[in-house]
Amino acid sequence: MINIALLGFGVIGSGTAKVLTDSSAEIAAVVGDDIYIKYIVDLRDFPGSPFESRIIKDFNIVLNDPEVQIVVEMFGGSHPAYDYSLAALRAGKNVITSNKEVVSNFGDELLREAAAHGCRYLIEASVGGGIPLIRPLSTSFVPGDIYEIAGILNGTTNYILTSMTEAAIRGKPIYMKECIAEAQRLGYAERDPSADVEGVDACRKISILTALAFGKLVSPDRISTKGITGITAEDIRSAVARGNQVKLIGRAAKLADGRVYASVAPCEVPPSCPLSHVNDVFNAVLVRGRALGDVIFYGRGAGSLPTATAVVSDIIDIASNIGHQPSQILWERADSLYTDKAPDDGGFVML
């Protein structure tokens, strides 16, 4: 039996518990052992939950239990998520996270700590929900071949921009505020939508993808970030008139001199680019390699169960490979290498 602890029993944590329960037989067949949720750390109570007896408030119980081999951090926010992850790795426990804030700010350090303590730090759920992105970027491409990544990384803003574009196509008036309110009604936007509409969420994700593709972690606060709040009805109308679409694009590229460029900005995307057809809450990431050509990964970038499948794929990866430490590319800090000029527009014309 492989004992794990979940940190956080919210949207992703409860989804993870559900997926692990629903597919327990199939997972055990692949892993060759049962996965058992021994603890769930959450400050709230969940009376009536089938996991009620395993919910605890004190993380130290997890930390001091040598039976726990995998800690799954799904708290969100930097603290205590980062601190608990660091402590778990230093105690030789494998850590899995869905927390893009922690990975984009501390991922280099946590990966180094994992390597130093003979354990692993896996982050598939931190970008793109259920879309397999992190593992393919780490294991399915030829190192050094990728020169650019560009993606629609935030479903909320893509939903809002899609609604505005549809209004423009139908010749109706375009009000961003109404589109945001509609996204909130549908549960696609939070009550305070600023992290999405200001580009903060997309910025954290492009920071992580940059590190995976180029081995260089650029802190999110060093990435030029423009959200969608400045987009006007006229921007949308004139893009539509040219047959194009306005999309919030996170982009990273490796310059010829080895420096890394990264940005988030609304862009006009022509219909020849497959990202222009990615609508509503869907996400998509374009990976460009010299030998590879263009490859795109597409799917729902959020949601309880899709994101939980990414968490569970990391649990299976670790549980299937207990005692084996796959080679891991560490990330360098690259603040000084950051440049605010893209090598070329790659077909994405910034607004």
Residues annotated as part of the active site = 205
Please name which of 250, 246, 137, 271 lies closest in space to residue 196, comparing C-alpha atoms.
250
- What's the count of helices (H) and strands (E) in the chain, helices before strands? 12, 15
Given its phi and psi angles, is residue 294 left (phi above 0), alpha (psi -120 to 50 degrees) or beta? beta
Contacts with a second copy: how many residues (CB under 8 A)? 55
| Per-residue binder mask for a second copy (CB under 8 A), 143-162, x = binder | xxx-----------------
**What part of residues 94-133 is at the interface with a second copy (CB under 8 A)?**
124, 130-132
When the beta carbons of 142 and 333 are compared against a second copy, the nearer one is 142
**What part of residues 13-72 is at the interface with a second copy (CB under 8 A)?**
15, 18-19, 22-23, 25-27, 29-32
187 binds a second copy (CB under 8 A): no
One residue of 320, 339, 346, 350 binding a second copy per CB under 8 A: 320
One residue of 142, 186, 258, 335 binding a second copy per CB under 8 A: 142
Give me the sign of the Cα torsion angle 152, 155, 159, 161: negative
- DSSP SS3 for 171: coil
Q: Encode burial over 189-223: b for 16+ CB neighbours within 10 A, e otherwise.
A: beeebebbbbbbbbbbbbbbbbbbbbbbbbebebb
One residue of 228, 305, 318, 351 binding a second copy per CB under 8 A: 305
Please name which of 170, 72, 125 lies closest in space to residue 304, comparing C-alpha atoms.
125
CB 309 within 8 A of CB 131: no
Interatomic CA distance for residues 79 and 248, integer angstroms: 28
One residue of 89, 239, 312, 342 binding a second copy per CB under 8 A: 312
**What part of residues 257-276 is at the interface with a second copy (CB under 8 A)?**
274
Residues making contact with a second copy (CB under 8 A): 15, 18-19, 22-23, 25-27, 29-32, 124, 130-132, 135-136, 139-145, 274, 277, 289-300, 303, 305-306, 308-310, 312-313, 316-317, 320-321, 324, 326-327, 329
